[in-house]
Amino acid sequence: MKTIGIIGGMGPMATVDLMQKIILATDAREDQEHIHLLIDNNTDIPDRTAAILGQGTSPVPELLKSADRLTAQGADFLIMGCNTAHFFLPLMMPFLKIPFISMIEATAEFCQQQGLKKVGLLASAGTCHSGIYQRALHYAGIETIQPDEAQETAIHDMIYTGVKAGRDYYDTTQVRKVLADMTAAGAEAFILGCTEMPLAISQYQLEGNFLDATQILAEKAAATAGAKVISRLPAGKAVLSTEISTY
């Protein structure tokens, strides 16, 4: 099988989540049937949201350092679990020496396969403002219901003040209202468009029809590597999962 290179460290626990999902998606009976994974847990990569909003350093140099290290170590293709970092992918592509699988494109393709017409986007402010999901979903014929400023603030705060800060308890009252309001606006499902969002859903026991972009990427990466995949993704729009497995 092919070797997967993971550009990680954005954040560290989200990197572990992606790795775990690849392992659990692999139909293996012994160690030797699992995929060779190379992880560069590069915590020197600057904050992607701050860079997009013009308030921080570009992450591209560090992203490329990770890509080069993984390539030199023998990765056959690259992935990264950080949704927001995909905004910088066009700047990275000319310098990459091996293929890259985009989480954003994979998620849009999956939504299209599900027959979805309207999806809500739950993501950091950087991802929402970057337009990466909106563009990919538009090309797939899907309307994006994007959080307004207050809703975006509530989601962003849960990501940064809750999950990234390692808080076991976080008051999710405002986030639950966001989910209810976006559902009323026609959202058939919610894309968890930040690597911390699947962790938040499990940790804070939120309910809704969620599509885990990390899971989608993990399964596509496992299949590309040549593994037989055990899918944890919904089989159709009518049976979308209402919770994220804690494994």
Tokens linked to 160: 């940064």
Which of the following is catalytic: 39, 78, 82, 158? 82
Q: Does domain 104-213+233-239 have CATH number 3.40.50.1860?
A: yes
- Residue 118 φ/ψ region, left for φ over 0, alpha for ψ in the -120 to 50 degree band, beta for the rest: beta
Q: Given this model, what pLDDT does residue 38 score? A: 98
Report the largest interatomic distance among the alpha carbons of the chain, rounded to a whole angstrom.
49
Tokens linked to 6: 């993971």
Start and end residues for every CATH 3.40.50.1860 domain found in the chain: 4-102+217-225, 104-213+233-239
CATH architecture of 4-102+217-225: 3-Layer(aba) Sandwich (3.40)
Q: Given this model, what pLDDT does residue 244 score? A: 32
Q: Given this model, what pLDDT does residue 125 score? A: 80
Identify the segments of the chain with pLDDT beneath 50: 237-247
Q: Given this model, what pLDDT does residue 235 score? A: 62
Q: Given this model, what pLDDT does residue 120 score? A: 96
Q: Using CA atoms, how far apart are residues 74 and 162, in angstroms rounded to an integer?
A: 36
pLDDT in tens, 36-55: 999 999 999 999 989 998 99
pTM: 0.87
Annotated catalytic, 194?
yes
Which of the following is catalytic: 136, 194, 218, 227? 194
